[in-house]
Structure formats: C-alpha cells, structure tokens
Amino acid sequence: MTTTIIKNGTIVTHDLTYRADVRVDGGKITEIGANLSGGTELDATGCYVMPGGIDPHTHLEMPFMGTYSADDFESGTRAALAGGTTMVIDFALPSPGQGLLDALQMWSNKSTRAHCDYSYHMAITWWSQQVFDEMKEVTDRGITSFKHFLAYKGALMVNDDELFASFRRLRDLGGLAMVHAENGDVVAELSAKLLADGNSGPEGHAYSRPPQVEGEATNRAIMIADMAGVPLYVVHTSCEDSHEAIRRARQQGKRVYGEPLIQHLTLDESEYFNADWDHAARRVMSPPFRNKMHQDSLWAGLSAGSLSVVATDHCAFTTDQKRFGAGDFTKIPNGTGGLEDRMPMLWTYGVMTGRITMNEFVAVTSTNVAKIFGMYPRKGAISVGSDADIVVWDPAKSKTISAKHQQSAIDYNVFEGKAVTGLPRYTLTRGRVAVNDGAIIGAEGHGEFVPRAANGPVNTALSAWKDLTAPRPIQRSGIPASGV
Ligand SMILES: NC(=O)NCCC(=O)O
Ligand SMILES: [Zn+2]
Ligand SMILES: [Zn+2]
C-alpha cells in the first residue's frame, strides 16, 4: 500500500483553515496532524490543501442536436484533473422511448475510460409506466438525482403533467429533482419568429432565450416540486429572474438549490455580438450569457448562500460542429467547455476579488455538491476516512488560458486569453497523483463509479413536514341531509 504525506500546507475546508499535514494510504485520508512522516512526501509549502473539486454538471460524449459532444470520459476527466477537479457527475440521457436502465448501460460503457471518479444523474426525457418502474432500480443503484428539461421542445422537453408525475415518484423514492428551467414553448415560438425576421446568426440564440423564459420556468418548477414535496435543484441558473425565484423559495423554507456556471459568472452577452460568426457560435449555450446586472446577482447569491454550487455544464463542440448552424442559429449545437478552467477562474474572479472567501470556494466547488448529492463525507471533505481526492492549490501559480495548452479535445476555449492566478500544484485522485507541478500523469480507467445515497436528511425533513401539513378531512359529528 502506497503512503503519501502532504507536508507543510494549510488545510482549507468549507468551515476551517488550519496548518496540518495529511497522510494518505490506499486511496483514503488516514491521518491529519503535525509533523507527519513515513511515506512519499509532497511539499505543500505556500499552498492550500483542499478537497478536490466536484463538477456536478457535465455532458461527456453526449448525443445532442445531431452530433456528439467532443470531450469523452477520457479527455473530459483529464481536463478536470488538470484544473483541480477530482470528480464529475454526468447525465445519462435516454432518447425518448429508451428505457432508463438501457441508457445507464450506455453511459457505463463510456465511463470505463475515466481518469477520476464519476457518478451519473438520470434524465427523464419521456414518461411511461416503464420509466416510473425503472426509476426505483436506478435509485437502488445509487443514482438518486433526476433531471428534467423544460426546454428543447420536440426533443428532450417534458410537459408539466409528466414533470409532476416524476417529481411525485421522486418524493416516494427519496430522490432529488433537477430541472433545466427555460420555457420551451416560448423559446420555440420566439426562435421561429426571429428566423422569419432574418435573425439567423448566433445572436438570435440569445434573443430567443431572454431571462423571463428562465424565470417563468424556475417559478413553475419550484411550485410543482413544492406540490410534490420533493427537493429541487435548478441547473445553470444564469439570471436574476431565476435567482430571485430560488432566493424567495429558500426564504419560504422550500428546499431549492441553484447552480450558476463559471461561464455565466465571468462571460457576458457581448460575446454574441462579436462580428466573427465562429466566435459567437462557439459561445452558444442554453441559457445564454447575460448582462452584468445578472452576473452581479449570481455573485451576490454565492456570497449570500442563496446559490449553492458552481458548475460548468461542460458540453464541448468543435468549431466544425458549431458550423452545423451556419444560416440557422437553432441548429448550432448548444454547449460550451469549462472543466479545466472552473476552479482557476472562480479563484481568480471570486476569491482574489473578495467576492467569496476561500472556505466558500471549497463549499461551492466541492463540499456543497457532495452534501446535496448524497456522498458526503466520502467526497468533498479533508477528514480521516474520506477518499483522498485532494487538490494542493498554489495561490501564486498563474497562467493565461489558451486552447493550445488545454486538455479538452476542442479547438478553442471560451476563456481564451484570461489570466488566472491560483492553480493546482498537485491533484490527487483517490491517492494517486494525477497532476504534479503542471505535468498531467493520467491513468485511463482509474476512475470508479460513486453510488450516492437516497433519502438524505433534507428528504426526511421535507417529507415529515409535508406529512404533518397535508390536507386532512375534518371530523364532523354528522353530515346534513342532501338539499335536493
Ligand atoms: N447547456 C447547453 O447549452 N448544453 C448542454 C445541455 C444542457 O444542459 O442543456
Ligand atoms: Zn440544461
Ligand atoms: Zn447541461
């Protein structure tokens, strides 16, 4: 069994900052204390020793809009490790009519190449007795979060009756409901009108998905989750309209989580007005980038705690793939990359500017993810017994982001030219050193599936409250005779 000692660093967790060494044996953290010795030493002088990042929102090798996203589990998890992320949660996406277990098998075949640990969310893209039945088996296998698309009409979108049925099923299974919140009917109408009026360029994509369509769908999903009595996680929260709905719900005691992306926090809508078609099309994603007011709202949500997690929605397409939409923005594959850049970008634009603390950085990139998705403290923690998914973070190390040096398979980077300070000196995945001072030492297939628990404390509390406050018939001494 290999023993590694991380020496002379400062441990930063979601709630503590302190000096200590960390011993790693057999992929687990086995001791935390002063002056540890007796193994291969990694020098963390001047560095922060933090739980490795967990990206809860990726689409690796995903069939979408007539093609496949270009990063698979090999290049995607290699990119993750390079940026200090040690686990991803990808989406198993049944095509309409396909069984959930069948889709799960397809994703399990793809993920055998992963360099770091992974899990899946299941997507509910259609509704039937088979889907209802298979949700139980999926949950029993440790896949306890289920995503629903309120957008992509005619493809992945589900209607409100299907959403309600699925949310009720999830309440009974102790799962977590997730939504992509955009009103797909309105987006479809706006897109058709824009195209008819000659708006065919990538900027048409942004015009077709204004913040209002996201705000409406977020409010609707929150209401339906509340009626069903299930916790709700809103993916890629991009604007104040959606954040406001989440903030209000949380203040009312509802169990709702919001997930901004690093792209929405740091890139704005002006990208779509670039005169270069490729530049604009490469940044087409749903929801689109917003203006500075919305960005400020997202940053405020992270420091106030009304938004819980920062993800990437990594769904990378090459320039050639983006060109499928030349002449019709609705055919540009939706999605951008970010796996390698999430942690350095958030550190640079969040911690270094004082928008969030180091501990909040750990919370939103790792610990909150582990807690919300039922795998804490195995993941998301620097504590004895936890998996040794660790990033030794050098706050003095800097680089300029460039596609030339990235791990991702695509030919550009939406953060191209951004100077970042704060990078991994070492990244450990279950004790294995995968990044050593900038050198990536990948091990294809090292990654393992991480099953997650259902019926967490939030489910239990919410169900108890819903049972206590459920409508009940009033007991009366008698019923009056009918008036007819
Ligand atoms: N976000 C995006 O544009 N592409 C990935 C699929 C999704 O999450 O909606
Ligand atoms: Zn989405
Ligand atoms: Zn997504």
What average pLDDT values come out for the chain (484 residues) when binned by 10 residues? 94 98 98 97 98 98 96 98 98 96 98 98 98 98 98 96 98 98 98 98 98 98 98 98 98 98 98 98 98 98 98 98 98 98 98 98 99 98 98 98 98 98 98 96 97 97 97 91 80
Q: Report CA Rg, the chain.
A: 23
Helical ranges in 350-456 per DSSP H: 358-362, 368-372
Q: How far apart are CA 223 and CA 3, in angstroms?
A: 51
Task: Decide if 64 contacts 322 (C-beta within 8 A).
Answer: no
- Cβ-defined contacts of 320-327 (< 8 Å, 24+): 321/67, 321/70, 322/278, 322/281, 322/282, 322/284, 323/278, 323/281, 324/65, 324/66, 324/67, 325/202, 325/281, 325/284, 326/277, 327/200
Q: How far apart are CA 247 and CA 157, in angstroms?
A: 25
305 belongs to a structural domain = yes
Q: What are phi and psi of 11, to 5 degrees?
A: -80, 130
Tell me what pLDDT residue 96 has: 87
Number of domains in the chain: 1
**Nearest atom in ligand 1 to 91's CA:** 8
471 belongs to a structural domain = no
- Total residues belonging to the chain: 484
CATH code, domain carrying 412: 3.20.20.140
Tell me what pLDDT residue 190 has: 98
Tell me what pLDDT residue 481 has: 87
Please identify which residue in the block is written with the tokens 């939030």. 458
Tell me what pLDDT residue 438 has: 85
29 belongs to a structural domain = no
Going by DSSP bridges, is the β-strand pair 3-7/21-25 parallel, antiparallel, or unpaired? antiparallel
1 belongs to a structural domain = no
pTM of the entire structure?
0.98
CA 97, 101, 104, 106 torsion-angle sign: negative
Q: Which ipTM score applies to this complex?
A: 0.99
User: Nearest-5° angle of CA 459, CA 364, CA 341?
Assistant: 135
Ligand nearest to the CA of 91: 3
Q: List strand residue ranges (DSSP E) for 378-456, in order.
A: 390-400, 419-429, 432-436, 439-440
Whole domain around residue 224: which residue ranges?
A: 49-440+448-462
480 belongs to a structural domain = no
Query: Which of 313, 314, 321, 322 has most ligand 1 atoms within 8 Å of CB, for mutation?
Result: 313
Distance in Å, CA 334 to ligand 1 centroid: 6
Tell me what pLDDT residue 482 has: 84
415 belongs to a structural domain = yes
Maximum pairwise Cα distance, the chain: 90
**Nearest atom in ligand 1 to 69's CA:** 5
Distance in Å, CA 430 to ligand 3 centroid: 26
User: Nearest-5° angle of CA 205, CA 209, CA 213?
Assistant: 170
**Nearest atom in ligand 1 to 180's CA:** 9
26 belongs to a structural domain = no
With H, G, I as helix, E, B as strand and everything else as coil, classify residue 333: coil
6 belongs to a structural domain = no
Q: How far apart are CA 39 and CA 3, in angstroms?
A: 5
Query: Which of 315, 321, 332, 414 has most ligand 1 atoms within 8 Å of CB, for mutation?
Result: 315
